[in-house]
């Protein structure tokens, strides 16, 4: 199988995607008359309350009213309390929330960190796990615990570019397709790991009061969507597994580079389709929206409960200096990379400030300036193995976490051609 020759990892991590995005912008006028057929999107005013698989709580809109998600959190706490019904007068154990960011092949960092965390003997059981893009692919393994570490290692250290994407010819892709790459290999990878057994395991954990939330972007509405994977898994619906796989694929589908994912819905007796793409188009990392005030959500026991938010940024915080050449692509590429970088940093700051408001401890881990391995191409196995090993060693040593977002530093300048 031929190896891809162009970059498709997340912008900011691999500059090739930025070149592709810019080329797409320049070629858009040529593609305007060659749209690919799809069913209409449902009416915008109906979409927010539209059940998926008949489930009213299959998903949430983080930019909308907080009450639906607040009800789900209250149910989570009630389930946890019911499991400890015999421990009257005792508080629930400490709560741990994990947020996994996007990052393309930098997802090897989060995978290595979780594996090393297991080896250190200090990895907690997470009450809530959220994931965006590459973080969405990590999230089910992180949610289900250390028994899934071997699969997590395989996905992020043993996959080569042809195992994830197939590159289309640029003129054909622009004129006759909705993306520059075919992600059928990535879908096969998802199908191999996100199987019926995994879905059943997620359903069991949901029944015990745990939440697995995956973010996508509804491109029709230009809004973020948070999918309640546990509720989908527990529904018993025959299409639950297919939807689970679609959500994982959609969350990692970089617009323009990877195909969008169409989710089938019904409204007023008619069939419609929603277009979903990379959750990173709306946010790089998320936990819960600031509009949801956890101080107002109480469980069955009104007692103090230590809580910690753990954020894994599959990327850097520091900025790489560069001497930007005076060219259209160099300037635009650098600008887009800057935009995406500070979008992610801003998301982390929002989570941190919300944690402070709600009295929750905060921990952050990210790729440090002391990691210097270089990638030859997107999803370079040697690069990903080095990054996995780096994160694993940090977690084993107990040096992976900081208690607040750091101020930005700058690495030495390089030429930007």
What is the pLDDT, as a whole number, of residue 183? 82
Catalytic residue among 7, 101, 133, 330: 133
What is the pLDDT, as a whole number, of residue 20? 52
What is the pTM (predicted TM-score) of this model?
Answer: 0.88
What is the pLDDT, as a whole number, of residue 288? 96
- pLDDT higher at 417 or 196: 196
Residue among 196, 204, 343, 218 nearest 283 (CA)? 343
Q: Is 278 a catalytic residue?
A: yes
Catalytic residue among 149, 278, 347, 380: 278
Q: Transcribe 182-248 into DSSP letters.
A: E-HHHHHHHHHHS-HHHHHHHHHHHHTT-EEEEEEEETTTTEEEEEEHHHHHHT--TTHHHHHHHHH
Q: How large a percentage of the chain has pLDDT more than 70?
A: 82
- Domains plus CATH for the chain? 77-315+325-397 (3.40.1090)
User: Does the pLDDT at position 175 exceed 80?
Assistant: no
**pLDDT tens-digit map of 35-63:** 678 899 999 989 988 999 999 999 999 99
Mean pLDDT of the chain: 86
**pLDDT tens-digit map of 207-240:** 999 999 999 999 999 999 999 999 999 999 999 9
Instruction: State the Cα–Cα distance between residues 70 and 291, nearest whole angstrom.
Output: 10
**pLDDT tens-digit map of 73-128:** 999 999 998 888 655 556 778 999 999 999 999 999 999 999 999 999 999 999 99
Give the model's confidence band at 202: pLDDT under 50 very low, under 70 low, under 90 confident, else very high: very high
Question: By the 8 A CB rule, do 113 and 312 touch?
Answer: yes
- pLDDT higher at 408 or 57: 57
Give the model's confidence band at 178: pLDDT under 50 very low, under 70 low, under 90 confident, else very high: low
What is the pLDDT, as a whole number, of residue 296? 66
| DSSP letter, residue 405 | P
Whole-angstrom CA distances from 39 to 220, 262, 273, 401, 412 are 12, 9, 5, 46, 50
What is the pLDDT, as a whole number, of residue 339? 86
3-state DSSP assignment of residue 303? coil
193 Cβ contact partners less than 8 Å away, ≥ 6 residues apart: 140, 141, 151, 155
User: Does the pLDDT at position 181 exceed 60?
Assistant: yes
**pLDDT tens-digit map of 240-285:** 999 999 999 999 887 777 889 999 999 999 999 999 999 999 999 9
């Amino acid at each position: 199988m031929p190896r891809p020759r162009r970059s498709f990892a997340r912008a900011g991590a691999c500059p090739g995607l930025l070149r592709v995005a810019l080329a797409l912008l320049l070629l858009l006028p040529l593609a305007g008359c060659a749209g690919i057929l799809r069913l209409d999107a449902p009416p915008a005013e109906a979409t927010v309350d539209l059940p998926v698989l008949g489930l009213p709580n299959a998903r949430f809109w983080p930019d909308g009213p907080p009450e639906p998600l607040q009800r789900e959190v209250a149910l989570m706490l009630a389930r946890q309390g019911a499991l400890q019904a015999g421990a009257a007068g005792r508080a629930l154990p400490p709560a741990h929330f994990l947020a996994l960011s996007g990052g393309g092949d930098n997802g090897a960092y989060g995978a290595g960190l979780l594996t090393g965390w297991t080896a250190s003997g200090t990895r907690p059981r997470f009450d809530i796990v959220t994931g965006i893009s590459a973080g969405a692919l990590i999230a089910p393994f992180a949610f289900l615990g250390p028994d899934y570490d071997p699969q997590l290692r395989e996905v992020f250290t043993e996959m080569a570019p042809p195992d994830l994407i197939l590159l289309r010819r640029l003129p054909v892709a622009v004129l006759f397709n909705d993306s520059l790459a075919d992600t059928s290999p990535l879908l096969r990878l998802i199908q191999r790991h996100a199987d019926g057994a995994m879905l059943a395991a997620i359903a069991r954990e949901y029944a015990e009061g745990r939440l697995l939330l995956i973010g996508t972007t509804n491109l029709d509405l230009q809004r973020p969507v948070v999918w309640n994977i546990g509720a989908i898994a527990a529904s018993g619906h025959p299409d639950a597994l297919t939807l689970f796989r679609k959500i994982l694929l959609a969350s990692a589908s970089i617009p323009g580079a990877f195909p969008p994912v169409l989710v089938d819905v019904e409204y007023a007796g008619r069939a419609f389709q929603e277009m979903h793409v990379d959750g990173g188009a709306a946010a790089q990392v998320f936990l819960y929206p600031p509009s949801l005030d956890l101080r107002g959500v109480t469980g069955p026991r009104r007692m103090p409960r230590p809580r910690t938010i753990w954020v894994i940024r599959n990327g850097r915080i520091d900025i790489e200096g560069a001497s930007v050449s005076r060219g259209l692509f160099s300037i635009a590429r650098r600008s887009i990379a800057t935009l995406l970088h500070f979008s992610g940093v801003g998301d982390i700051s929002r989570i941190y400030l919300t944690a402070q408001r709600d009295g929750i401890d905060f921990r952050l881990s990210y790729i440090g300036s002391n990691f210097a391995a270089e990638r030859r191409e997107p999803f370079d196995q040697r690069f990903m193995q080095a990054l996995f090993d780096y994160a694993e060693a940090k977690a084993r040593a107990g040096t992976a976490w900081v208690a607040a977002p750091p101020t930005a530093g700058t690495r030495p300048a390089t030429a930007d051609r």
